[in-house]
Structure 1
């Protein structure tokens, strides 16, 4: 990467801190390859903690300029709210973290679109909230009123929190990891929401269709699977098994928000899969990704697609 390009990096950081000073946000997304010379660096603003991630080794000059610029940023009066600054070296085993300022707790409370979530900012994998899904959660909140919602691969229930905030009558969250669902329950409590309207099923989806169907039919189904989960899910092999079940779970006018976050498949993967395995569902639109996650190849980024009966 090019140290002479870092002025763009710091310009975007300052711009983002002004636009969303109290909300969780990706401030710089070099991995979208829209910033030449900065393709392997990102920066997130997480609960007043500045988290920089490097995905490839950099030169001593680059690291020195990056460190100098971050320390200078923290000293400016406009950015006194910064509690800590860290650089995670994601290309090294264990992703060691270098602290330039302060310390980071294991768990912090963040705000997105006015809703609260817990995040693990020291984790290099399971932070608790995928920031590129912000507009997806906003869409669910805006369209959930009076609906029975099924949230497949629920993780920490971000969609569920958004749906209840939007007036959903019930949300059924399904995920194999009980620890993730426990965090989801904590997220609902953090927003003082009625957990009596929320179900948490720590089940293997493929072995639980009967139980899932009994809690339906659903007005809205959200399917946001991992690209790969060892021993339980492989996107290109298993997503079709999800799609063919959808018609039996939906109400007459039900909708499906089908998500894919693998650069190895395009948006046609779900559109064509739905046409083959759930032909009664029609493709409506692909939701926008947040502008901070711009990518030179839109098909390599997150794909959130809406279908309707």
Structure 2
């Protein structure tokens, strides 16, 4: 029999070695797979013992194919009654294309027709298509004018061992984890070795390490394979191989002296890891513990072993600058506590590893799904300064940043004291090398790093960011947990509404007598736009006895100011359920009567487009620059759409009323000609407090009245 055994890109060489060790013949690797030959027993051994394969494809035929008719004819050369019962179920996995077959669904349909037509002509019965758990999976690949037809003997992908029923947010596939461990040299490290994952997530690396250490065939944990209902299946041969594997597993579990430790800051994902280890039968060898990375130390009384981990490395789990602090801390802890240990870091962003200050002695390229990734191997050779004592000295430029920050605070001191300002911007990219904004919220500070150009060296940018974080702590006399780092970038879709962490850290600040909830950790924005402070105060001063409408209300801080200013009623509209709930809490914090201060979760475009009886004395509208959220009927572009928005809002404004229109698009240009029916005044200069005077294009504000 001739097989094609598929695997993730980047581990073909390892799979070739594995298949040769299992006894396969004529082994030859290619992209994302390995060709091999052997008897049916060999296919069974691969399904049972391969730690690296995805699928085992038994090749039936191949020929040159260009048209759909040629594909149909090729499939019909197979005697399908040798592989499929007349009333059985099957499905077709089709990949590739030709000039005449450029749609995989169409290709799969032609293959299905060829199988069904042949069986029906021979027996009068018709096999049916079943995508989930079919009796037979037919695999057809078309490339470079040649099609190959195969049976998928694995069924579901072999990386699905069966033990991982629960996973974290970005799980590593089991066969990729096995490849990482093999490249790290784990199988050769011997009995009694310790393996430790300080950011273990759902525990895949540790479970795979113990499956190797206990000589457990990964296929033993699966309930079904693609050959289970195949007429060519030799059940007695399979059961013989399974019995042999079970004996080896029992002996391996008995003699295993490996110890494993898994740490993670998230107790929920640790519970998943514990469940997975129990399902795999190796939980007795692994000690799981909830622990922040900062608490990482070598377990007492343990000889050096292997630290292996797959830390976060992309936007999905955290911003790059924040992650650099994580990697830097990891490097410090390794140098302080893990001398003579082997360390493997698997990452889709090798640049992050540069801040660990460890030299990689080996690097292996792999793919995590479609993400090009690397496994970097380090040997920690000598003890250096501990993480507690390691210092980062300020450069001359950093001292310039410190001087500028102190100067800004001094210049704004009298104004802040007079106005009772506790939430303000202390610094906004005043020095080009330090392109950050520093915002103060009472006893907390948020540092927002503007995304640097791709041409900027990431390590140098990170070193400057280290300077910023240290200076901010010194100048404001804060502890590290009182300074929060964020990276600013263009938002798209629902980015601005999504949680970016799981800390749940809300606290209350005051502004002109208004209590407002802010959150510096969990969302891209804090819940309070500091630059709009003068606009909110103006609304508060004008709201007495008026009905106020707040469109694109965000967390409804402007509505709160209107409430405190004596507004008769407020109506606040936003399409985000997250922000409407936040707004509800803000209003409740200030004693709002829900009957008079109404919150509406809806797309403002849609809400404005319907005929309405309500009229308002004061309207505030601050739309985003751009939004393509799925919650909206259309894409919002404030430059293109502002005329329509303003006209619709003015329909709801009573005679003598005021519309305050604002946005933060820096190149915004109001279409005065299209809005000539209204009296418009640009009040932007009057809405810039001292902390935003340097950044005069932070927003634009217009007062609009009926002409």
What interval of TM-score do these two structures reach, taking the shorter chain for normalisation? 0.7 to 0.9
Whether 1:247 and 2:646 are equivalent positions in the alignment is: no
**CA deviation profile, 1:168-208 (whole Å, cap 9, x unmatched):** 11111111112211111110111123332111111122222
Q: 1:214, CA displacement in angstroms?
A: 2.0
| Alignment-derived partner of residue 230 in structure 1 | 628
Q: Could you tell me whether the CA contact under 8 Å between 2:614 and 2:652 is conserved in 1?
A: no
* 2:520 paired residue among 114, 117, 121: 121
Q: Contact 2:448 / 2:488 at 8 angstroms: preserved in 1?
A: no
Tell which deviates more after alignment, 40-49 or 132-141: 40-49
- Greater relative contact order structure (CA < 8 Å, 6+ sep): 1
2:700 corresponds to which residue?
303
Residue aligning to 2:276 = none
Q: Are residues 1:280 and 2:682 paired?
A: no
Point out the more displaced range, 229-238 or 167-176. 229-238
Between 1:37-46 and 1:184-193, the stretch displaced more is 37-46
Aligned to 1:221: 619
Deviates more, 1:39-48 or 1:106-115: 39-48
In structure 1, distance between residues paired with 2:611 and 2:508: 31
Structure 1: distance between partners of 2:421 and 2:687: 23
Partner of 1:99: none
Task: Give 1:66-85 correspondences, 5 Å limit.
Answer: 66-73=468-475, 75=477, 84-85=481-482
Q: How many angstroms apart in 1 are the aligned matches of 2:566 and 2:598?
A: 15
Unaligned runs of 5+ in 2: 1-395, 453-457, 490-494, 496-502
For the pair 1:90 / 2:492, whether they are aligned, the reply is no
| Aligned match for 2:530, one of 128, 131, 135 | 131
Q: Tell me: CA distance 1:149–1:108, structure 2 relative to 1, closer, same or farther (3 Å).
A: same
Partners of 1:222 and 1:193 lie apart in 2 by 19
Larger mean Cα displacement after TM superposition, 18-27 or 112-121: 18-27
Q: Is the 8 A contact 1:153 1:224 kept in 2?
A: yes
Are 2:609 and 2:648, in contact at CA under 8 Å, matched by a contact in 1? Answer: no
- Whole-Å Cα distance in 1 between the matches of residues 557 and 397 of structure 2? 36
Aligned to 1:256: 659
Q: 1:184 aligned to 2:583?
A: yes
Q: 1:8 aligns with which of 390, 404, 413?
A: 404
* C-alpha separation in 2, matches of 1:87 and 1:246: 38
Q: Considering only CA atoms, is the larger Rg found in Structure 1 or Structure 2?
A: 2
> What SS does the aligned partner of 1:214 have?
coil
The question of whether the paired residues in 2 share the 8 Å contact of 1:144 and 1:163 is answered with yes
**Number of aligned pairs?**
282
Q: Deviations over 1:129-177 (max 9, x none)?
A: 1111000000000011111111111111111101111111111111111
Q: Does 1:50 align with 2:445?
A: yes
Aligned-partner Cα distance in 2 for 1:50–1:134: 17
1:279-301 deviation line (CA, Å, top 9, x unaligned): 332013414212201236x3x32
CA deviations on 1:55-94 (whole Å, 9 max, x unpaired) are: 235556644543443343355xxxx7x79432525179x9
Shift of 1:236: 2.0
Q: Deviations over 1:82-118 (max 9, x none)?
A: 79432525179x9xxxxxxxxx862111111221111
The 2-side partners of 1:15 and 1:106 are apart by: 31
Alignment of 1:199-218 (within 5 A): 199-209=598-608, 213-216=612-615, 218=616
Contact 1:151 1:223 in 2 (8 A): yes
Q: CA deviation at 1:243?
A: 1.7
Q: Secondary structure at the match of 2:572?
A: strand
Q: After the TM superposition, which of the residue ranges 256-265 and 188-197 deviates more from structure 2?
A: 188-197
| Residue aligning to 2:542 | 143
Show the counterpart of 2:435: 40
TM-score if structure 2 supplies the norm length?
Answer: 0.37
Secondary structure class of the residue paired with 2:541: helix
The range that moved more, 255-264 or 282-291, is 282-291
Residue 221 of structure 1 deviates from its aligned partner by: 1.3
What's the RMSD between the two structures over aligned residues? Answer: 3.0
